[in-house]
């Protein structure tokens, strides 16, 4: 068994500045190949392609560690499967998460199959801060098992499903972004950083002379936007749709904007001429108006009910308790690093779920992903397609039995009464 692991071939992708895990794999004496994945053509303020610069850094790492280096481009696939979805979601007034979509369609689909089929890899390693329920040795024993396409697959078709677990460094944990990863890819993936802290990883990099990597800044925000103004960037691809900023409290017009799709709930609205901050609380897609409130903790920002599309369950689809009882207690978050919120899931026949939070949460928005957890395990996620009424709406008595939706009837079925 040990000899089998030592001779195993493993491919690691170095996109997004994660070459530091290579040396930890070499310590375990795997046969490692580094691969740089380019997903976006972009220039910085000096006209230099940032992807080319990152590729050079990755190549230097492979030279220092004396391992093979490959590069692959998924610019077209990223545009079709990630960026086009990003624009379509914004045009509908939603708040997409391109990082989750990229992991699903590009890193753990296109790249994963390239590593398996073209490079003959036995496993893939990434720099995500996450863990799984299987030992490294078990990864190399996995064989390809095609996941059934049915809504509720036979629970005996895939035995010993691999669970996605939170990283030891809870602050750096990235399971949120991996919540749509397919089981087949997860079974053959290593997360060498999952049990380490960021400081310890930096120490390993320094000991292996990877100082040029240590000097690089953390990648934050949406990679293809970079340092550019977000509104200007979006308006390069979507036509402006001028509308009004309206106070949620008295319907007074406070200013104008270039498009209701540019704003997400909870965001501060930059309204010219007003000294006090106002925050986006509602959007009217028909008229193009954005409703705002004068406080960051205004009750119009708080909701305790949402409905997702069909949930992607990572290990067990759906969890046995949820199938048996039609309800299940767990926790969820809809932004990376936000505190987990206790909730109750209600399963619908089409695989969608209603999520009822134990207490109202701030700034839920359509298009975001509700990511579910139970203990250390990340169960999976679903895109938010419907929202319940805000605390402000309930206080005003405007609606007590209907569910606020985007457009007309987005999301099938009906939910629990409010």
Q: What is the pLDDT of residues 31-68, one digit of tens each?
A: 889 999 988 876 544 445 567 788 888 898 888 888 89
pLDDT at residue 217 tops 70: no
Q: Of 62, 110, 223, 330, which is the active-site residue?
A: 223
Whether residue 337 has pLDDT greater than 80: yes
pLDDT category at 149 given cuts 50, 70, 90 is low
Whose structure tokens read 């000097």?
215
For residue 206, the model assigns a pLDDT of: 82
Q: How far apart are CA 210 and CA 224, in angstroms?
A: 26
Span 337-343, average pLDDT: 96
Q: What are the Cα distances from residue 217, in Å, to 118, 214, 329?
A: 32, 8, 39
Percent of the chain with pLDDT over 70: 78
Query: What's the predicted TM-score (pTM) here?
Result: 0.85
- pLDDT for the residue 31: 86
Residue 73 β-bridge partners: 38
Residue 343 annotated in active site? no
What is the spatial distance between Cα 351 and Cα 411, in angstroms, rounded to a whole number? 11
| Both structure tokens of 304 | 């305790």
pLDDT score recorded for residue 208: 77
pLDDT score recorded for residue 158:
53
Q: Residue 341 pLDDT more than 50?
A: yes
CA distance 246 to 17: 43
Mean per-residue pLDDT of the chain: 83
Contacts of 97-103 with C-beta under 8 Å, sequence gap 24+, read 97/177, 97/367, 97/368, 97/369, 98/222, 98/224, 99/177, 99/222, 100/176, 100/177, 100/179, 100/180, 100/369, 100/381, 101/180, 102/39, 102/78, 103/177, 103/178, 103/180, 103/181
- Has 110 been annotated as catalytic? no
171 φ, ψ to 5°?
Answer: -70, -35
pLDDT beyond 60 at 18: no
- pLDDT, tens only, 305-330: 999 999 999 998 899 999 999 999 99
Task: Please check the confidence at residue 340 and state whether its pLDDT lies above 80.
Answer: yes
Average pLDDT for 361-373: 97
pLDDT above 50: residue 418:
no
Cβ neighbours of residue 263 closer than 8 Å, sequence gap 6 or more: 257, 269, 280, 283, 290
pLDDT for 223-279, tens place per residue? 666 666 888 889 999 999 999 999 999 999 999 999 999 999 999 998 988 989 999
What pLDDT does residue 286 have?
92
Which of the following is catalytic: 62, 102, 110, 378? 102
């Amino acid at each position: 068994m040990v000899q089998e692991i030592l001779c195993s071939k493993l491919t690691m992708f170095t996109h997004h500045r994660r070459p530091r895990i290579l040396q930890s794999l070499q310590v375990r004496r795997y046969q490692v190949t580094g691969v740089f994945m380019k997903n976006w053509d972009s220039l910085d303020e000096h006209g230099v392609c940032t992807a080319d610069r990152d590729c050079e850094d990755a190549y230097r790492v492979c030279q220092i560690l004396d391992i093979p280096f490959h590069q692959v481009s998924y610019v077209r696939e990223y545009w079709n499967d990630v960026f086009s979805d990003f624009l379509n979601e914004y045009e509908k007034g939603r708040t997409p998460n391109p990082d989750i979509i990229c992991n699903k369609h590009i890193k753990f689909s296109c790249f994963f199959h390239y590593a398996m089929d073209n490079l003959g890899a036995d496993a893939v390693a990434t720099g995500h801060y996450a863990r799984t329920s299987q030992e490294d040795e078990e990864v190399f024993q996995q064989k390809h098992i095609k996941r059934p396409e049915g809504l509720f697959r036979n629970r005996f078709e895939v035995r010993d499903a691999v669970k996605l677990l939170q990283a030891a460094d809870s602050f750096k944990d990235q399971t949120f972004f991996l919540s749509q990863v397919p089981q087949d890819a997860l079974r053959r993936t290593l997360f060498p950083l999952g049990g380490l802290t960021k400081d310890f990883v930096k120490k390993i990099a320094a000991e292996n002379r990877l100082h040029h990597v240590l000097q690089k800044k953390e990648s934050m925000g949406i990679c293809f936007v970079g340092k550019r103004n977000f509104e200007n960037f979006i308006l390069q691809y979507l036509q402006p749709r001028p509308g009004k900023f309206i106070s949620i409290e008295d319907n007074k017009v406070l200013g104008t904007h270039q498009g209701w799709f540019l704003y997400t709930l909870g965001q501060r609205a930059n309204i010219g001429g007003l000294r006090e901050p106002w925050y986006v609380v509602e959007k009217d897609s028909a008229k193009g108006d954005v409703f705002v409130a004068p406080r960051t903790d205004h009750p119009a920002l708080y909701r305790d009910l949402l409905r997702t599309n069909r949930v992607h369950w990572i290990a067990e689809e759906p969890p046995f308790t949820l199938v048996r009882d039609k309800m299940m207690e767990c926790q969820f978050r809809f932004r990376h690093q936000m505190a987990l919120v206790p909730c109750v899931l209600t399963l619908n026949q089409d695989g969608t779920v209603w999520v009822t939070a134990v207490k109202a949460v701030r700034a839920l928005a359509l298009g975001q992903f509700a990511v579910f957890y139970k203990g250390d395990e990340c169960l999976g996620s679903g895109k938010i397609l419907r929202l319940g009424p805000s605390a402000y709406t309930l206080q005003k008595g405007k609606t007590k039995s209907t569910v606020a939706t985007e457009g007309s009837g987005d999301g099938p079925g009906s939910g629990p009464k409010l």
